[in-house]
Protein backbone atom coordinates (compact mmCIF):
# COMPACT_ATOMS: atom_id res chain seq x y z
CA UNK A 1 0.00 0.00 0.00
CA UNK A 2 1.38 3.40 -0.98
CA UNK A 3 2.11 5.67 1.98
CA UNK A 4 -0.35 8.54 2.23
CA UNK A 5 0.73 11.87 3.66
CA UNK A 6 -1.25 14.84 4.94
CA UNK A 7 -0.44 18.48 5.47
CA UNK A 8 -1.69 19.31 8.97
CA UNK A 9 -2.04 22.90 10.20
CA UNK A 10 -2.57 24.25 13.71
CA UNK A 11 -3.58 27.92 13.86
CA UNK A 12 -2.44 29.83 16.91
CA UNK A 13 -2.56 33.48 17.86
CA UNK A 14 0.87 34.33 16.40
CA UNK A 15 1.87 31.39 14.22
CA UNK A 16 0.58 28.36 12.39
CA UNK A 17 2.34 25.11 13.23
CA UNK A 18 2.57 22.90 10.15
CA UNK A 19 3.51 19.26 9.76
CA UNK A 20 3.59 16.50 7.19
CA UNK A 21 2.10 13.39 8.80
CA UNK A 22 1.07 9.88 7.80
CA UNK A 23 -2.07 7.99 8.82
CA UNK A 24 -0.42 6.79 12.03
CA UNK A 25 0.29 10.42 13.10
CA UNK A 26 4.02 10.10 12.54
CA UNK A 27 5.51 13.52 11.76
CA UNK A 28 7.97 13.62 8.86
CA UNK A 29 8.55 17.34 8.55
CA UNK A 30 7.73 20.49 10.53
CA UNK A 31 7.65 24.20 9.77
CA UNK A 32 5.70 27.28 10.86
CA UNK A 33 4.27 30.40 9.27
CA UNK A 34 2.95 33.64 10.80
CA UNK A 35 -0.79 33.65 11.49
CA UNK A 36 -1.07 37.43 11.87
CA UNK A 37 -1.84 38.46 8.29
CA UNK A 38 -4.35 40.73 6.57
CA UNK A 39 -6.64 38.04 5.12
CA UNK A 40 -7.03 34.31 4.62
CA UNK A 41 -6.00 34.71 1.00
CA UNK A 42 -2.80 36.36 2.19
CA UNK A 43 -2.11 33.41 4.47
CA UNK A 44 -2.71 30.94 1.65
CA UNK A 45 -0.27 32.97 -0.46
CA UNK A 46 2.39 32.34 2.19
CA UNK A 47 1.57 28.63 2.32
CA UNK A 48 1.47 28.03 -1.45
CA UNK A 49 5.25 27.88 -2.24
CA UNK A 50 5.94 25.60 0.72
CA UNK A 51 3.12 23.25 -0.26
CA UNK A 52 4.39 23.06 -3.83
CA UNK A 53 7.80 22.09 -2.48
CA UNK A 54 6.31 19.45 -0.22
CA UNK A 55 4.38 17.88 -3.10
CA UNK A 56 7.69 16.98 -4.73
CA UNK A 57 8.73 14.98 -1.66
CA UNK A 58 5.42 13.56 -0.41
CA UNK A 59 2.19 12.28 -1.94
CA UNK A 60 0.00 14.81 -0.10
CA UNK A 61 -3.52 13.37 0.06
CA UNK A 62 -5.26 16.15 1.95
CA UNK A 63 -5.10 19.11 4.31
CA UNK A 64 -6.23 18.91 7.94
CA UNK A 65 -6.69 22.13 9.91
CA UNK A 66 -6.98 22.82 13.64
CA UNK A 67 -8.20 26.35 14.22
CA UNK A 68 -9.52 28.66 16.90
CA UNK A 69 -13.18 29.67 16.71
CA UNK A 70 -16.48 27.80 16.56
CA UNK A 71 -15.99 25.56 13.54
CA UNK A 72 -18.95 24.32 11.53
CA UNK A 73 -17.35 21.21 10.08
CA UNK A 74 -20.19 20.76 7.57
CA UNK A 75 -20.16 24.24 5.99
CA UNK A 76 -16.49 25.03 6.52
CA UNK A 77 -17.41 28.32 8.20
CA UNK A 78 -15.57 29.38 11.37
CA UNK A 79 -18.18 31.10 13.51
CA UNK A 80 -17.82 32.93 16.81
CA UNK A 81 -14.77 35.10 17.43
CA UNK A 82 -11.06 34.70 18.08
CA UNK A 83 -7.76 36.54 18.08
CA UNK A 84 -7.64 36.12 14.28
CA UNK A 85 -10.47 38.26 12.91
CA UNK A 86 -9.82 37.34 9.28
CA UNK A 87 -10.73 33.65 9.65
CA UNK A 88 -14.43 34.12 10.47
CA UNK A 89 -17.69 34.20 8.57
CA UNK A 90 -17.06 32.42 5.26
CA UNK A 91 -16.36 28.96 3.82
CA UNK A 92 -12.70 28.46 4.72
CA UNK A 93 -12.66 24.82 3.61
CA UNK A 94 -13.54 25.74 0.04
CA UNK A 95 -10.69 28.26 -0.09
CA UNK A 96 -8.16 25.48 0.44
CA UNK A 97 -9.85 23.06 -1.93
CA UNK A 98 -10.19 25.58 -4.74
CA UNK A 99 -6.66 26.90 -4.28
CA UNK A 100 -4.79 23.62 -3.86
CA UNK A 101 -7.12 20.95 -5.27
CA UNK A 102 -6.84 18.84 -2.12
CA UNK A 103 -9.63 17.61 0.18
CA UNK A 104 -9.61 19.71 3.34
CA UNK A 105 -11.21 19.34 6.76
CA UNK A 106 -11.33 21.83 9.64
CA UNK A 107 -12.06 21.40 13.34
CA UNK A 108 -11.85 23.54 16.46
CA UNK A 109 -8.50 23.34 18.27
CA UNK A 110 -9.96 22.18 21.59
CA UNK A 111 -11.91 19.48 19.79
CA UNK A 112 -8.74 18.44 17.96
CA UNK A 113 -6.85 18.10 21.23
CA UNK A 114 -9.68 15.94 22.58
CA UNK A 115 -9.66 13.76 19.45
CA UNK A 116 -5.92 13.23 19.88
CA UNK A 117 -6.32 12.11 23.49
CA UNK A 118 -9.28 9.91 22.55
CA UNK A 119 -7.37 8.29 19.69
CA UNK A 120 -3.89 7.71 21.06
CA UNK A 121 -3.60 9.50 24.39
CA UNK A 122 -4.75 9.73 28.00
CA UNK A 123 -8.43 9.04 27.21
CA UNK A 124 -7.96 6.17 24.77
CA UNK A 125 -9.76 3.83 27.21
CA UNK A 126 -12.65 6.22 27.97
CA UNK A 127 -15.73 7.15 25.96
CA UNK A 128 -16.80 10.00 28.25
CA UNK A 129 -14.39 12.76 29.21
CA UNK A 130 -13.86 16.49 29.11
CA UNK A 131 -10.74 18.32 28.09
CA UNK A 132 -9.78 21.71 29.53
CA UNK A 133 -6.96 23.55 27.79
CA UNK A 134 -5.41 26.18 30.06
CA UNK A 135 -3.91 28.98 28.01
CA UNK A 136 -4.87 32.58 27.38
CA UNK A 137 -8.36 31.35 28.24
CA UNK A 138 -9.96 28.04 29.15
CA UNK A 139 -10.93 26.15 26.02
CA UNK A 140 -11.69 22.51 25.58
CA UNK A 141 -14.14 19.90 24.43
CA UNK A 142 -16.71 17.36 25.60
CA UNK A 143 -16.53 13.76 24.42
CA UNK A 144 -19.62 11.63 25.07
CA UNK A 145 -19.90 8.03 23.90
CA UNK A 146 -16.80 8.57 21.80
CA UNK A 147 -18.13 11.62 19.92
CA UNK A 148 -17.41 15.34 20.23
CA UNK A 149 -20.44 17.11 21.69
CA UNK A 150 -20.69 20.45 19.88
CA UNK A 151 -24.06 21.74 21.03
CA UNK A 152 -26.68 23.78 19.18
CA UNK A 153 -24.47 26.87 18.77
CA UNK A 154 -21.19 24.94 18.31
CA UNK A 155 -19.99 26.17 21.70
CA UNK A 156 -20.00 22.85 23.56
CA UNK A 157 -16.77 22.70 25.58
CA UNK A 158 -16.17 26.45 25.46
CA UNK A 159 -15.84 26.41 29.23
CA UNK A 160 -14.01 29.71 29.40
CA UNK A 161 -17.19 31.75 28.87
CA UNK A 162 -18.76 30.41 32.08
CA UNK A 163 -18.93 32.83 35.01
CA UNK A 164 -17.24 31.77 38.24
CA UNK A 165 -18.10 34.82 40.37
CA UNK A 166 -18.68 38.57 40.30
CA UNK A 167 -16.40 41.25 41.69
CA UNK A 168 -17.56 44.88 41.87
CA UNK A 169 -20.44 43.99 39.59
CA UNK A 170 -18.15 42.55 36.91
CA UNK A 171 -18.47 38.90 35.83
CA UNK A 172 -15.25 36.92 36.16
CA UNK A 173 -15.14 33.88 33.90
CA UNK A 174 -13.25 30.63 34.00
CA UNK A 175 -10.89 32.19 31.46
CA UNK A 176 -10.34 35.22 33.69
CA UNK A 177 -9.55 33.17 36.78
CA UNK A 178 -8.48 29.61 35.95
CA UNK A 179 -6.33 30.09 32.85
CA UNK A 180 -2.61 30.75 32.43
CA UNK A 181 -3.52 34.38 31.76
CA UNK A 182 -5.51 34.39 34.98
CA UNK A 183 -2.66 33.21 37.17
CA UNK A 184 -0.27 35.67 35.52
CA UNK A 185 -2.63 38.61 36.03
CA UNK A 186 -3.36 37.65 39.65
CA UNK A 187 0.34 37.27 40.41
CA UNK A 188 1.16 40.57 38.72
CA UNK A 189 -1.42 42.33 40.89
CA UNK A 190 -0.04 40.68 44.02
CA UNK A 191 3.51 41.78 43.20
CA UNK A 192 2.43 45.15 41.80
CA UNK A 193 4.23 44.59 38.50
CA UNK A 194 3.15 44.42 34.87
CA UNK A 195 1.81 41.08 33.58
CA UNK A 196 4.25 41.50 30.69
CA UNK A 197 7.07 40.76 33.14
CA UNK A 198 5.70 37.29 33.87
CA UNK A 199 4.88 33.99 32.27
CA UNK A 200 3.52 30.80 33.81
CA UNK A 201 6.99 29.37 34.42
CA UNK A 202 8.12 32.51 36.25
CA UNK A 203 4.99 32.50 38.44
CA UNK A 204 5.74 28.99 39.66
CA UNK A 205 9.40 29.85 40.22
CA UNK A 206 8.28 32.58 42.62
CA UNK A 207 5.84 30.13 44.19
CA UNK A 208 8.52 27.49 44.78
CA UNK A 209 10.83 30.15 46.23
CA UNK A 210 8.25 30.93 48.91
CA UNK A 211 7.23 34.42 47.79
CA UNK A 212 4.28 35.05 50.11
CA UNK A 213 2.35 37.31 47.76
CA UNK A 214 2.70 34.79 44.95
CA UNK A 215 1.79 31.85 47.19
CA UNK A 216 -1.53 33.52 48.01
CA UNK A 217 -2.26 34.19 44.32
CA UNK A 218 -1.35 30.66 43.21
CA UNK A 219 -3.31 29.01 46.01
CA UNK A 220 -6.37 31.04 44.94
CA UNK A 221 -5.79 29.94 41.35
CA UNK A 222 -5.70 26.28 42.41
CA UNK A 223 -8.94 26.83 44.36
CA UNK A 224 -10.62 28.48 41.39
CA UNK A 225 -9.52 25.72 39.02
CA UNK A 226 -10.74 23.04 41.44
CA UNK A 227 -14.11 24.85 41.58
CA UNK A 228 -14.21 24.81 37.77
CA UNK A 229 -13.60 21.05 37.81
CA UNK A 230 -16.53 20.51 40.19
CA UNK A 231 -18.81 22.65 38.01
CA UNK A 232 -17.77 20.75 34.88
CA UNK A 233 -18.24 17.42 36.65
CA UNK A 234 -21.81 18.22 37.64
CA UNK A 235 -22.66 19.77 34.27
CA UNK A 236 -21.38 16.98 32.02
CA UNK A 237 -20.54 14.06 34.37
CA UNK A 238 -17.41 12.82 32.58
CA UNK A 239 -15.29 9.85 33.65
CA UNK A 240 -12.16 12.03 33.48
CA UNK A 241 -11.35 15.70 33.15
CA UNK A 242 -8.13 16.05 31.19
CA UNK A 243 -5.99 19.15 31.67
CA UNK A 244 -3.79 20.46 28.88
CA UNK A 245 -1.76 23.54 28.06
CA UNK A 246 1.82 24.29 29.04
CA UNK A 247 0.91 25.31 32.60
CA UNK A 248 -0.66 21.91 33.21
CA UNK A 249 2.89 20.55 33.35
CA UNK A 250 3.74 22.63 36.43
CA UNK A 251 5.08 20.48 39.25
CA UNK A 252 2.46 18.80 41.41
CA UNK A 253 -0.58 20.26 39.63
CA UNK A 254 -2.79 17.17 40.02
CA UNK A 255 -1.79 16.67 43.67
CA UNK A 256 -2.58 20.30 44.50
CA UNK A 257 -5.91 20.14 42.69
CA UNK A 258 -6.86 16.98 44.55
CA UNK A 259 -6.08 18.72 47.85
CA UNK A 260 -8.32 21.64 46.90
CA UNK A 261 -11.06 19.27 45.72
CA UNK A 262 -10.94 17.47 49.08
CA UNK A 263 -11.22 20.78 50.93
CA UNK A 264 -14.14 22.03 48.84
CA UNK A 265 -16.07 18.76 48.89
CA UNK A 266 -15.62 18.47 52.66
CA UNK A 267 -17.74 21.63 52.86
CA UNK A 268 -20.20 20.34 50.26
CA UNK A 269 -21.23 16.90 51.56
CA UNK A 270 -24.26 16.61 49.29
CA UNK A 271 -21.87 16.25 46.32
CA UNK A 272 -20.96 12.57 46.16
CA UNK A 273 -19.28 12.48 42.73
CA UNK A 274 -15.65 13.60 42.75
CA UNK A 275 -13.91 14.94 39.65
CA UNK A 276 -11.08 12.77 38.39
CA UNK A 277 -8.45 15.12 36.89
CA UNK A 278 -5.69 13.74 34.66
CA UNK A 279 -2.99 15.31 32.53
CA UNK A 280 -3.17 15.06 28.77
CA UNK A 281 -0.57 12.85 27.12
CA UNK A 282 0.22 15.07 24.17
CA UNK A 283 1.70 18.52 24.50
CA UNK A 284 2.25 20.88 21.60
CA UNK A 285 1.39 18.20 19.03
CA UNK A 286 -2.13 17.46 20.33
CA UNK A 287 -3.91 19.78 17.90
CA UNK A 288 -1.97 18.40 14.94
CA UNK A 289 -2.74 14.79 15.87
CA UNK A 290 -6.42 15.58 16.46
CA UNK A 291 -6.78 17.53 13.21
CA UNK A 292 -5.41 14.52 11.36
CA UNK A 293 -7.82 12.20 13.19
CA UNK A 294 -10.76 14.44 12.29
CA UNK A 295 -9.70 14.36 8.62
CA UNK A 296 -9.42 10.57 8.65
CA UNK A 297 -12.78 10.22 10.41
CA UNK A 298 -14.49 12.48 7.89
CA UNK A 299 -12.78 11.45 4.67
CA UNK A 300 -12.44 7.76 5.49
Q: Is the model's pLDDT at 82 over the cut of 90?
A: no
CA–CA separation, 78 vs 76, rounded Å?
7
Confirm whether 46 is domain-assigned. yes
Q: How many angstroms separate the most distant Cα atoms in the chain? A: 64
Distances in Å between the Cα of 26 and the Cα atoms of 3, 21, 66 are 12, 5, 17
Confirm whether 182 is domain-assigned. yes
Q: Which residues pair with 36 in a beta bridge?
A: none
Q: Is the model's pLDDT at 283 over the cut of 90?
A: no
For 141-164, what is the mean pLDDT? Answer: 92
Distances in Å between the Cα of 224 and the Cα atoms of 8, 176, 196, 219, 262 are 35, 10, 22, 9, 13
Helix (H, G, I), strand (E, B) or coil at 166: strand
pLDDT for res 237: 96
Helix (H, G, I), strand (E, B) or coil at 239: coil
pLDDT for res 28: 97
Confirm whether 119 is domain-assigned. no
Say yes or no: 143 and 102 in one domain. no
Confirm whether 84 is domain-assigned. yes
CA–CA separation, 68 vs 152, rounded Å?
18
Confirm whether 231 is domain-assigned. yes
Question: Where residue 11 sits, what CATH number does that domain have?
Answer: 3.30.420.40
pLDDT per residue as tens digits for the range 14-63: 899 999 999 999 999 999 999 999 999 999 999 999 999 999 999 999 99
For 252-260, what is the mean pLDDT? Answer: 96
What's the residue count for the chain?
300
pLDDT for res 246: 85
Q: Is the model's pLDDT at 108 over the cut of 60?
A: yes
Say yes or no: 132 and 268 in one domain. yes
pLDDT bin (cut points 50, 70, 90) of residue 9 is very high
For 112-123, what is the mean pLDDT? Answer: 94
Q: Which residues pair with 242 in a beta bridge?
A: 131, 278
pLDDT bin (cut points 50, 70, 90) of residue 13 is confident
Say yes or no: 268 and 131 in one domain. yes
- Show the domain range for 194: 124-279
Say yes or no: 152 and 36 in one domain. no
pLDDT for res 95: 96
Say yes or no: 198 and 288 in one domain. no
Q: Is the model's pLDDT at 255 over the cut of 60?
A: yes
Say yes or no: 249 and 132 in one domain. yes
Nearest to 131 by CA among 140, 143, 120, 121: 140
For 135-150, what is the mean pLDDT? Answer: 90
For 246-259, what is the mean pLDDT? Answer: 92
pLDDT per residue as tens digits for the range 207-224: 999 999 999 999 999 999
Residues in CB range of 154: below 8 A, 6 or more apart: 70, 71, 72, 79, 80, 108
Confirm whether 82 is domain-assigned. yes
Say yes or no: 87 and 226 in one domain. no
Distances in Å between the Cα of 177 and the Cα atoms of 31, 32, 53, 223, 284 are 33, 31, 44, 10, 23
Percent pLDDT > 90 in the chain is 86
Say yes or no: 89 and 163 in one domain. no
Say yes or no: 55 and 84 in one domain. yes
How much is the mean pLDDT over the chain?
94
- Other beta carbons within 10 angstroms of residue 36's beta carbon come to 12
Helix (H, G, I), strand (E, B) or coil at 252: coil
Say yes or no: 182 and 256 in one domain. yes
For 192-221, what is the mean pLDDT? Answer: 94
pLDDT bin (cut points 50, 70, 90) of residue 1 is low
Q: Is the model's pLDDT at 228 over the cut of 80?
A: yes
Domain count for the chain, please give it: 2
pLDDT per residue as tens digits for the range 172-190: 999 999 999 999 999 999 9
pLDDT for res 192: 94
Amino acid sequence: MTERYYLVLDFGGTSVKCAVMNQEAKIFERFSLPSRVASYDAWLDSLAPKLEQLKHDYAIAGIAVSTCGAVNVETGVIEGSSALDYIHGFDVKSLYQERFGLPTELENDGCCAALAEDWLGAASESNDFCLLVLGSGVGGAIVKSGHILKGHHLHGGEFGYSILRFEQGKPLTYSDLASTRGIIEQTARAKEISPKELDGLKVFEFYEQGDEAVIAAVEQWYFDLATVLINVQYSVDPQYILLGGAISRSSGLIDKLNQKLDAILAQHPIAKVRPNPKLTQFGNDANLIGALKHFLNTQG
